[in-house]
């Protein structure tokens, strides 16, 4: 949680698109909802009901703080659907904050960070 306070706290009055997955996405959602007044939009490749239980619970727990839920309706939850979700968020964002847990460029977080760079948009990389 201290990591979020340090790196997300400066943007506490901003709008956030969050991927709605388990792990960093859910933890960031919980921290933002409890610690800021930021506008929060959850974006999922299919539907929220298709997300892992941890992610569904985080969304349910913070529902009163979520401004919007965007379900992109992908027919199959595969890597391409998650990459499309990430591109959707980047295309609508002024800044991407990524929390990669490995330096492997094939991971979704790094693909998103690289997509952001290809679009000439700023990014903040917080390795975990």
Q: What is the pLDDT of residues 29-49, one digit of tens each?
A: 999 999 999 999 999 999 999
d(CA 103, CA 93): 23
d(CA 74, CA 54): 20
Residue 90: CB atoms within 10 Å: 20
pLDDT for 106 equals 59
The string of pLDDT tens digits covering residues 87-121 is: 999 999 999 999 887 666 658 889 999 999 999 99
d(CA 77, CA 44): 10
pLDDT for 128 equals 80
Domains of the chain, earliest start first: 2-125 (3.40.50.450)
């Amino acid at each position: 949680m201290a990591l979020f306070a340090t790196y997300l706290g400066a943007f506490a009055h901003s709008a956030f698109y969050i991927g709605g997955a388990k792990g960093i996405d859910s933890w960031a959602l919980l921290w933002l909802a409890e610690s800021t007044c930021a506008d929060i939009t959850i974006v999922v490749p299919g539907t929220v009901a298709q997300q892992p239980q941890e992610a569904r619970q985080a969304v349910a727990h913070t529902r009163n703080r979520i401004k919007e839920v965007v379900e992109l309706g992908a027919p199959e939850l595969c890597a391409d659907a998650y990459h499309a979700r990430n591109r959707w968020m980047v295309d609508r964002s002024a800044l991407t904050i990524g929390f990669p847990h490995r330096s492997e460029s094939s991971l979704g977080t790094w693909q998103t960070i690289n997509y952001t760079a290809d679009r000439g948009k700023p990014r903040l990389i917080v390795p975990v």
